[in-house]
Chain A
C-alpha cells in the first residue's frame, strides 16, 4: 500500500467518522444542517452517479422519508425509498446508520420528541424487515429542535416531518 492510498483511506475513514457522530448538532454548536446533510463534509461523499458513494445514497436513492401531520405511518413513497435504502445497506455491509426522527413545530416540545422517536423507529423497523441487521441501525429523535425549513406553513412543515438515514462507518472500518 503506497502512501497516497493510505492517506486517502485515512481521509475517507475520517469523513465517515464525521457522519457517524450522532452529536453533530452538538459538537458543531448546532451548525450542522438539519436533515443530516449540511453537517457532513460534502467533499467526502463521492459522486452521486457512483452507486457505491454516500452521495448516491443521500441524493439518488434519497436519505429521508416524510410523514403526515402527527403520523408515523410510512406512505407508499416512503416505503419505496426505504426499500432502496435497505437494498443499498444490504450490499454495503461496512456502513451503519443512525436514523433521525423529526417533527414540525406544530406540537409541544416533549410530545414531538416522542413523535420523532416513533418516526425514526418506523423507518428503522422497515429497514430491518428488509433484511438490514438491527445492530447496524440506531435511532435518535430531535423532536422539533432541528427543522430543515423554517417557514411556518405546510410547504416547510412537510419537509420537517421526516426520518433521515444518516450513514456512518461500521465499527472498526
Chain B
C-alpha cells in the first residue's frame, strides 16, 4: 500500500507590509508517502492495549519511546527531535505518561532487532514505540515506526513509514503520534493540525492584535497580519486554505477573508449595515453566515461566496450572533438574547423557527458544533465566573469543563475530543492565553506560547 498524500507546507519570507517581521507565506506541495513496513511479527489484531476516553482515564498509560534510530549520520539530530515531538504529543493528551529514558534497561540500536519485552515489562512500559529515521542528501526525511503492546508481547498494528521534506519533520512526527494515539484510543487523529488565533501584546486598554497561525502545540508561529488594526475571531474554511475574520481596517468592524497560501485578504462583498462580524464557513465552504448590525440591531445573514447573494436568517429586535453550522450543514446553532439574556438556539440552516437549547442558570454564548456532530461547546457566564462547557445538541447532558475569571471562545480539535479556548486574567496584568482541555474536563493545559493570544480556531486535520 502506498497512498500518496499532498502535504501543504510553508516556509519563511519577509512580509512586505512589516519590513523585517517574518510572515510565512510560500505554499508548496510535497508528496508524503505512507508505506507499510513489514512488522517483525505478523499481527493485525488489537491487543488488550486500549484506552477508552469516555470511560474516564484516571491513570495515564506509561509508554517508552527510545530515541528513533538514525539510519545515517545526517539523521541523528532530526531523529532525536522527531522522537521528542511524538512523545510530547502523546503525553500532552493526559492519557499517556512517558517513562524517562534513564529508566530504560535495554537500548534500541536497530529498528529490526527483536524486542526485549521483558526489559520493557520490568519498567512497566505498557506501550513501546520504536522508530528509525533516515535523512537523504536531497533533503528528504523518512521515518519508520512500530508500536508494541509490551504486556501482550506483540506489535499493535503494522509498522508504517512517513516521508517528507526536512522542513516537514514536525508534521511527520505528528502523523506518527496520531497513528499511535488512534491505535490505542480508537479515536480520530488531531496532532497534525494548526490553529489560527489572535496574537496579543500591549496593555489592556491599548491592546495590539494581529492574526497568527501555529501548529496545534504552539510551534511554528507565523503572523498573518500586522498590528496596525484590531482583528477578531478568525475561523478556518473546511479545507483549511482560507480564513474568515473581523477587521477594523476601515475604522468599522468588517468581515474579511484571507487566502492562506498568498496571505492576501479581501473584504467580503460590500454588505449593508454599520457592522459585519462573526463570520463562519458552511461545511461545504461555499456559504458564509455572519452577523450584521444595523441601527443597533444585530441579526444573522448568509452569503453565497460565488453568487454574492445574501439572505437574512433571523429577524428579531434582539442580538443574534456567534453562529455555527452542524457538520452536515443542515442546522445552525447560535446565541440570542431574545429571552432577555444570552441563550443558545438551533434553527434550520436557511433560517426559520429557532429552538432554544440552553436552560441552565446564567448566560450562554459562543456555541460551536462538534465536528462529530454530537455536541455543542459553549461559553457560560454565571455568578461572576466564566466556564467552557459542552452539551448534547438538544441541550441535554450539560457539563462544565472549566471555571475561571474569564474563559471564552471554545474551538474543537478535528477529532471532537479536545477543546481549545481563551483564558484571560483579571486586572491590568491579566494577559489572554490559550488553553486546551479534554471533553471529559481533564488535562487542562496552557498551550506553550510566547506572548498573549486569544480567539483560537482549530483547523481540520491537515491533508
Distance between B38 CB and nearest chain A CB, rounded to angstroms: 53
Give the shortest distance, in Å, between A142 (CB) and chain B (any CB): 8
Bound form: Cα–Cα A32–B113 in Å: 66
Supposing A22-B252, A108-B408, A147-B204 touch, asked if A113 and B275 sit within 8 A by C-beta, the answer is: yes
A169 interface contact, C-beta 8 A: no
Residues of A contacting B202 in the complex (Cβ-Cβ under 8 angstroms):
30
- Within the assembled complex, what's the spacing in Å between the Cα atoms of A161 and B58? 45
Q: A114, B298: Cβ atoms under 8 Å?
A: yes
Query: Interface residues of A, CB < 8 Å — how many?
Result: 45
Contacts of B253 in A (CB 8 A): 113, 140-141
Pair A109/B428 contact, Cβ less than 8 Å? no
User: How long is the Cα–Cα vector from A25 to B427 in the complex, in angstroms?
Assistant: 21
Task: Kindly state the separation between the CA atoms of A118 and B296 in the bound complex, as whole angstroms.
Answer: 4
Interface string of B228-245 (1 = CB under 8 A from A): 111011000000000000
Say yes or no: is B222 at the interface (Cβ < 8 Å to chain A): no
B293 within 8 A of A: yes
CB within 8 Å of B: which of A114-158? 114-115, 117-118, 120-122, 124-125, 138-143, 145-152
Q: A108-B408, A114-B319 are in contact. Are A32 and B251 (CB under 8 A)?
A: no
B277 near A110 (CB under 8 angstroms)?
yes
Contact between chains at B207 and A117 (CB < 8 Å): no
Known: A107-B381, A148-B205. A118 touches B319 (CB 8 A): yes
Residues of B284-326 contacting chain A, CB below 8 A: 291, 293, 295-298, 319, 321-322
Whole-angstrom distance between the Cβ of A87 and the nearest chain B Cβ: 23
Question: Are B427 and A151 interface neighbours, CB within 8 A?
Answer: yes
Asked whether B359 is an interface residue with its Cβ less than 8 Å from the other chain, the reply is no
Docked-complex contact A110 and B204, CB < 8 angstroms? no
Are A111 and B248 in touch, CB under 8 angstroms?
no
| 6 closest cross-chain pairs (CB), A and B | A121-B296, A22-B251, A152-B426, A26-B229, A23-B251, A114-B298
- Chain A positions near chain B (C-beta within 8 angstroms): 21-23, 25-27, 29-34, 70, 72, 105-111, 113-115, 117-118, 120-122, 124-125, 138-143, 145-152
B interface residues, Cβ below 8 angstroms from A: 202-209, 227-230, 232-233, 246, 248-253, 274-275, 277-278, 291, 293, 295-298, 319, 321-322, 335, 337, 341-342, 365-366, 379, 381, 405-406, 408-409, 424, 426-428, 430, 454-455
Q: List 12 A-B pairs, Cβ < 8 Å.
A: A108-B408, A109-B408, A110-B233, A110-B365, A111-B365, A113-B277, A113-B321, A114-B298, A115-B319, A118-B298, A139-B296, A152-B405
For the A-B complex with A110-B277, A143-B232 known, give 8 more contacts whose Cβ atoms are closer than 8 Å: A23-B249, A29-B208, A108-B379, A109-B454, A110-B365, A141-B275, A145-B230, A152-B405
